[in-house]
Amino acid sequence: MPLILALESSCDETAVALYDPDSHQVMEKLHTQIAPHRPHGGIVPELASRDHIQRAIVLIDALFEETGCKREDLLAVGYTAGPGLMGALMVGASLGKSLAYSFGVPAIAVHHMEGHLLAPMLGAQPPTFPFLALLVSGGHTLLVDVRQYGDYVILGESVDDAAGEAFDKTARQLDLGYPGGPALAALAAQGNSGRFTFPRPMLHSGNLNFSFSGLKTAARQTIQAQPCLNEQDKADIACAFEEAVVDCLCHKMLQAAQQTGRDLLVIAGGVSANKRLRTQLAAMAEEAGLRISYPPLGLCTDNAAMIAYAAWCKFKAGQQDGDWAIQTKARWPITEA
């Protein structure tokens, strides 16, 4: 049984996975770092690196032990080389390269957002190329024309905060703690639609870019304007914020589909787990006669299964690391992946 081992450590998830290309099966283990960051209300890069160091080898050991897979069956070791937190990336890259070296197999540097982009391929109904992808995570908001594997054209991106970052920052203003995005989404579900209305920045900008930083200002002003902020006020503000972000994402994606003529839409990245986004985009896509594909829910947020799959695609294409130097990139355009 040939296998790809992969490591993901670009941010606050320590994840390891084994992918079997023959059966298309993935086996994975994941540790989400909540405890070290929660007291700080957000991710502290140095604490993230230290936690990855403590967890990664333990997770790999457990993965092999629990699955019964053998080291001798490894074809290659993939690891996230960027973009992400530099120290956190270094942990996965050093470990991935060392393991590959010691097992005598190639090491493969994977672009984190290409991992997200390819995650839907691990679902029950994988999309076929070409398609239009909306990648929405904590660090990126990208509209990408995916012509085929490795051929990506960026059609639009956020000019300031990423969608996930805006969720997290607004959650912090509402004192929802860390991790903020899912907490804000849960609170928004209790909110009354229509009590507050936030702007839809750049909706008619004539291009496919996004802007989300003004929304957190709108949220802050609304929070400050409440004489005594209660739980229902918070829920109503969360609801208005979520509606505004989702509206912007859906409208730009539909515009991009019209411009490119693509009829298959893919959403991936942490924010693609958002229920309102999924529901609204599905409704708009149906009305426009477009098809839509998501990763399985568990593969929307950071995971190593998507890195293993991307590493397999690179392995097939002969794209393995050329030397044993450990190199990571905090910034790395997906068009250069």
The per-residue b/e assignment along 201-215, b for 16 or more CB within 10 angstroms, e otherwise, is bbeeeeebbbbbebb
* Torsion from C-alpha of 59, 64, 4, 330, nearest 10 degrees: 10
| Shortest distance, position 302 Cβ to Zn ion, whole Å | 4
**Residue 283's CB: how many other CB atoms inside 10 A?**
11
Exactly one of 41, 182, 214, 333 binds ligand KG4 (CB under 6 A); that residue is 182
Six-digit token pair at 267?
């959403």
| Shortest distance, position 45 Cβ to Zn ion, whole Å | 15
Positive or negative CA dihedral for 321, 107, 84, 150? positive
Six-digit token pair at 197?
């209305």
Site track for Zn ion across 298-317, x = CB under 5 A: ----x---------------
Q: What is the DSSP letter of 192?
A: P
- Could you give the 3-state DSSP secondary structure of residue 107? strand
Residue 301 touches ligand KG4, criterion: CB under 6 A? yes
Residues 106-135 binding ligand KG4 (CB under 6 A) are: none
Residue 181 touches ligand KG4, criterion: CB under 6 A? yes
CA angle 330, 141, 181 (to 5 degrees): 95
Those residues whose C-beta lies under 8 Å from the C-beta of residue 177, and which sit 6 or more positions away, are 38, 41, 171, 183
Beta-strand pair 3-8/13-20: antiparallel
| Shortest distance, position 138 Cβ to Zn ion, whole Å | 7
Site track for Zn ion across 249-288, x = CB under 5 A: ----------------------------------------
Q: Pick the closer one to Zn ion by CB: 137 or 173.
A: 137
Exactly one of 19, 131, 152, 167 binds ligand KG4 (CB under 6 A); that residue is 167
Residue 138 touches ligand KG4, criterion: CB under 6 A? yes
| Shortest distance, position 194 Cβ to Zn ion, whole Å | 33
| Shortest distance, position 269 Cβ to Zn ion, whole Å | 6
Rounded to an integer, what distance in angstroms lies between the CA atom of residue 309 and that of residue 325? 23
Residue 92 touches ligand KG4, criterion: CB under 6 A? no
Six-digit token pair at 191?
């909110």
Residues 102-141 binding Zn ion (CB under 5 A) are: 137
Binding site for ligand KG4 (CB under 6 A): 11, 137-139, 164-165, 167-168, 179-182, 185, 269-271, 273-274, 301-302
Binding site for Zn ion (CB under 5 A): 137, 302
